[in-house]
Amino acid sequence: MEFFDSLKAFFYSSIIEQDRYKIIISGLKNTLIISFFATILGIALGMIVAVTKYFAKGNGNVILKGFDKLCSLYITVVRGTPVMVQLFIWSLVVLASWTHAIPVACIGFGFNSGAYVAEIFRAGIEAVDVGQEEAGRSLGLTRISTMKYIVMPQAIKNILPALGNEFITLLKETSVAGYIAVNDLTMAGSIIKSNTWDGRIYFVIALIYLVMVMAISKVLKTFERRLAKGDKSK
Amino acid sequence: MIRVSNLRKSFGDIEVLRGIDYEIEKGEKIVIVGPSGSGKSTFLRCLNLLERPTSGDIWFEKTRITDKKVNINAIREQMGMVFQQFNLFNNLKIIDNITLAPIKHKLQTKEQAVESAMNLLERVGLKDKAEAYPSQLSGGQKQRIAIVRSLAMNPKVMLFDEPTSALDPEMVGEVLDVMKELAETGMTMVVVTHEMGFAREVGTKVLFMDDGIIVEESNPQEFFGNPQSPRLKDFLSKVL
């Protein structure tokens, strides 16, 4: 009984008292905002980088080659440095003049995620049978049209599980946003803990992350199943 | 219609095509045979520049298509190609496989494209598959659709790269029948194949390629009845 009493006391002081749940809700909101926009930015960047690299392969165009080099540099630097250090550089140097931390975090995480997403897209594009592109080209479609209507839709289907993992990783990674003064979900836990001195609040925080991750997994599964409709026997 | 002059193609150190000269006239049915690795598929794939020749020239009608400035997409619109592995677009329904290119090239409106696609599908007996996905079809059906997809562009010439080699034996016939029917319409065709019966029956010229060159070329009667070179004799003795 003692255990339950202590649990009840914890819930009261950490969640109910002084409307502390509101801290959690606003932290959750910020975590979701950052994850959402970082994901969009990450997909956009990743797709641009992967497609650029794909088109640069076997093409003599100097401008394209230049972009290709830039993309490689981007992937190397982003994957070779910790996301927290990148975040500090965004918030203290590059975007130091921005007064709101959340947009900075969106850009920082999105820029980071883009490099990983680019590699996922690259693998997905390479996994599409080269005959698909050849068939498109043999019908007189341009490389861009062939990419858009034939290769990319199949690539996306291939990479959906990997992309899902990347979103999940990203969502959890945003928990370091507190270091650049964002009140995210993890930070909400820290704030409450500093008032109540009860570390068990992190169980609550963990549970919220877990529920979100499970929800994302579920949505992605459904999505995958729907996309798989086209190639049952393959 | 297609003229090839001193065509060479190397992959790394290996020279696959070692100087090919040939001219294809409108309405001809050129059948190319030869052992594997002889360069026949590479030759065919050079004709629409799916492979870029290392040197030499190819003319299509009045255009030198090996010229870097030529818009190759405009040329490819007029040259249909059928692949060994069918290469239907896996993400699209059959009807969309067929109508994608005509619609994107603005040759037809969507309604027109669908209507002519349905007519073509009827011709090959697959009208009921319009809404299916490629993975739901047999190899023979896929290849017939692939032929229809190329025909939907109204090409001036059709290139076939071993169209029956990936098929189960009982499906070879249905694809060859479609090709024979197509030949009867007067279509210019270049066919790489191992089907000697088809070569004999449909070909206006049969080419024997070996080791990157055209070793022998003649009409089917001569080709099969009176082969000249020892290499062709040897080849025919193995395949017939």
Residues of A in contact with B80 (CB under 8 A): 138-139
Mean pLDDT calculated for residue range A78-106 = 96
Torsions phi, psi of B228, nearest 5?
-95, -55
With cut-offs at 50, 70 and 90, classify the pLDDT of residue B83. Answer: very high
What is the sign of the dihedral through the CA atoms of A138, A141, A144 and A146?
negative
With cut-offs at 50, 70 and 90, classify the pLDDT of residue B72. Answer: very high
Cβ distance of B73 and A136 shorter than 8 Å: no
β-sheet bridge partners, residue B9: B17
Six token digits for residue B24: 């294809």
Mean pLDDT calculated for residue range A49-59 = 89
pLDDT at residue B3 greater than cutoff 80: yes
Pairing of strands B205-210, B213-218: antiparallel
β-sheet bridge partners, residue B30: B190, B205
Record the pTM: 0.88
| Nearest CB partner across the interface for B135, out of A139, A142, A232 | A232
Taking the C-alpha atoms of residue B116 and residue B11, their distance in angstroms, rounded to an integer, is: 40
SS3 readout for B80-149? EEECCCCCCCCCCCHHHHHHHHHHHCCCCCHHHHHHHHHHHHHHCCCHHHCCCCHHHCCHHHHHHHHHHH
**What percentage of chain B exceeds 70 in pLDDT?**
100
With cut-offs at 50, 70 and 90, classify the pLDDT of residue B199. Answer: very high
Say which amino acid occupies B186: G
pLDDT at residue A230 greater than cutoff 80: no
pLDDT in tens, A111-148: 999 999 999 999 999 999 999 999 999 999 999 999 99
In this complex, is the C-beta atom of B87 within 8 Å of any C-beta atom belonging to chain A? yes
| Nearest CB partner across the interface for A145, out of B75, B79, B104 | B104
CB distance A152 to B93 below 8 Å: no
| Nearest CB partner across the interface for B91, out of A135, A230, A232 | A230
* pLDDT on residue A234: 41
Query: E strands along A42-173, which residues?
Result: none
Interface of A with B (CB under 8 A): 129, 131-132, 134-142, 145, 149-150, 153-154, 157, 229-234
| Nearest CB partner across the interface for A150, out of B91, B133, B135 | B91
Cβ distance of A234 and B89 shorter than 8 Å: no
**Nearest chain B Cα distance for residue A229, angstroms:** 9
Six token digits for residue B206: 């049969």
Cβ distance of A140 and B50 shorter than 8 Å: no
Residues of A in contact with B89 (CB under 8 A): 132, 135-136, 149-150
